[in-house]
Amino acid sequence: MAPVWPKVVGYELVQQIGGGGFSNVFRAVHIEDHRVAACKVIMLTESSTEKERKTIEKEMRVHSALKHENVLEFISAVVVELKHKHQYIPGIYMLLELAAGGDLFDKIAPDVGVGDEVAHYYFNQLISGMDYIHAKGVCHRDLKPENLLLDVAGTLKISDFGLSAVFKLKETGRTRPLTERCGSLPYVAPELNSDEPYQAEPIDVWGIGVILFTLLAGNTPWDEPTEHSPEFRRYLSGAIFQEVPWNRIGPDALSLIRGMLTIDPNERLTLEDVFQHSWCIRPSQLLNAGPSALADKLTESLRVNGDLGLVSPNLAGEQNEDEDMFSGSHNTQFTQSLMLFSQTQSGVRYTPHLTRFYAALGPTLLMPLIQESLEGLNVRCKAAPPREGQDGPLRLRIGGYDRRKMMFKGWVDVEKFSYRGAHGSFCVMQRDVGNPISWRQLWKALIISDAVEPHVLRK
């Protein structure tokens, strides 16, 4: 008998929702308790090293000690060793809170960003979570859009502590400088370009500054904070502040961004300074607005540029109830307003990705056009076997590099869909690795490509 996924403290792995290579993320359900979680699985193979295991164990130790409203909750973990491989799939299974609202940055129009109010609302949650993390003596070291998730009510959750480090002993308050070079180039602080040890807290503040800019501008400010980047050179000279999008950012928010993106870490704003900045301390207009208003405000730029009309066109036909008994766990005013449900062949289904569309062609005709269009955009493509037997969707594994030279990887799934008595396709682009904003740009480029565009259904 083929090995199966184990139960993890009563949770069964039911649907893959992300990941690739050596780690996958599944939706996991606890049948008896009617609870839903996410399960991150790091595969164990004969070639897994002791060093790799120690790194994962450190991540679990750090993450499990953090309990805060704005930190993704670590629930439990189990390890299935190789000696049990005939019965179960070997791996380290981390059970985490399910961020049913999906990625924060999946809802942001590229090169547009979100309004000042939405940025203010989520930025204050981000600094609240990071202040707690630092107080626990932990430095995140990998703050970037893809590590900021939303729960079912739209609350921000900081995730992925794989590169984190303990820099302060809680007992004595003593701190230590860090030496390991890590992080993603568009978000790392410039002091990581040297071989000198660096202070922990200022590098997270720099990452927070880049995230605030990205919320307001809809893109990162540069590809790397070095002389190799023309944009960073113009930042150093001050010339960039006369250019779009910097000149669109209000003076208050701009002074805060510049304070966090101060080159000298000793001169950079601390989190305490950030909390007291005039842009942060003003009352939030969204705090008591309710989940629907928050979702509408968050996706406003996607509504204006027409993206939401592609995600959820008006489709005729019966709205069947979702066959998934656990969809209720995702079905809130916030997730409904975000359009995180899709009409599929089997009814209404929870789909956390807003990078999806419907087409008037069947899957076998549409998929070659998708592959041809993506390859024309310099995306590597490889056909994959269906995930759920022969009746599952047609699948394409895709990867490449975005404008910021950041790697992306993901899947394109195309499945049958019936509408108005005719047959068509439902297509979802699911990102595993990479910036959600550049993933959205790729989705839009596919939709407006010459081969695919004539078949796309619009609102």
CATH number at 62 reads 3.30.200.20
From 68, 96, 124, give the residue that closes a domain. 96
For position 313, what pLDDT does the model report? 80
- Residue 437 included in any domain: yes
Q: Are 212 and 123 in contact (CB under 8 A)?
A: yes
- Residue 252 included in any domain: yes
Active site residue 142: yes
Exactly one of 106, 142, 307, 413 is catalytic; name it: 142
- Residue 253 included in any domain: yes
> Tokens 């992300």 — which residue?
18
CA 317 – CA 177 distance, rounded (Å): 61
Same domain assignment for residues 70 and 114: no
- Reported as a pLDDT band with limits 50, 70 and 90, residue 387 is low
For position 317, what pLDDT does the model report? 46
For position 328, what pLDDT does the model report? 65
- Residue 296 included in any domain: no
For position 100, what pLDDT does the model report? 93
Same domain assignment for residues 50 and 108: no
- Residue 218 included in any domain: yes
For position 391, what pLDDT does the model report? 66
Q: Which two tokens stand for residue 415?
A: 């499945």
What H or E segment, with its residue span, contains residue 117?
helix 116-135
Same domain assignment for residues 66 and 106: no
Same domain assignment for residues 143 and 269: yes
- Reported as a pLDDT band with limits 50, 70 and 90, residue 323 is very low
Higher-confidence residue of 256 and 34: namely 256
Mean pLDDT of the chain: 92
Same domain assignment for residues 234 and 110: yes
Same domain assignment for residues 74 and 178: no
Q: Is 40 annotated as a binding residue?
A: yes
Phi, psi of 147, rounded to the nearest 5 degrees:
-100, 15
- Reported as a pLDDT band with limits 50, 70 and 90, residue 17 is confident
Q: Considering its fold, how many domains does the chain have in total?
A: 3
Same domain assignment for residues 277 and 158: yes
Report whether pLDDT(186) > 60.
yes
Same domain assignment for residues 335 and 420: yes
Same domain assignment for residues 139 and 62: no
CATH number at 322 reads 3.30.310.80
Same domain assignment for residues 376 and 435: yes
Please compute the mean of the pLDDT values over residues 344-368 and round it to a whole number: 90
* Local structure of 455: helix, strand or coil: helix
- Residue 334 included in any domain: yes
Same domain assignment for residues 325 and 436: yes
Report whether pLDDT(345) > 90.
no
- Percent of the chain residues topping a pLDDT of 90: 82
Query: Between vectors from CA 323 to CA 322 and to CA 328, what angle results, nearest 5°?
Result: 55
- Residue 49 included in any domain: yes
CATH number at 254 reads 1.10.510.10
Report whether pLDDT(319) > 80.
no
Report whether pLDDT(411) > 60.
yes
Q: How far is CA 1 from CA 11, 85, 231, 361, 438, in A?
A: 22, 11, 57, 39, 42
The model's pLDDT over 137-164, given as tens digits with 9 standing for 90+, comes to 999 999 999 999 999 999 999 999 999 9
Same domain assignment for residues 42 and 145: no
For position 185, what pLDDT does the model report? 95
Give me the DSSP letters along 382-437: EEE--TTSTTS-EEEEEEEE-TTS-EEEEEEEEEEEEETTEEEEEEEEEEEES-HH
CA 418 – CA 320 distance, rounded (Å): 13
The pTM of this model reads: 0.94
- Residue 298 included in any domain: no
From 64, 96, 128, give the residue that closes a domain. 96
- Whole domain around residue 339: which residue ranges? 307-455
For position 420, what pLDDT does the model report? 67
Report whether pLDDT(300) > 70.
yes
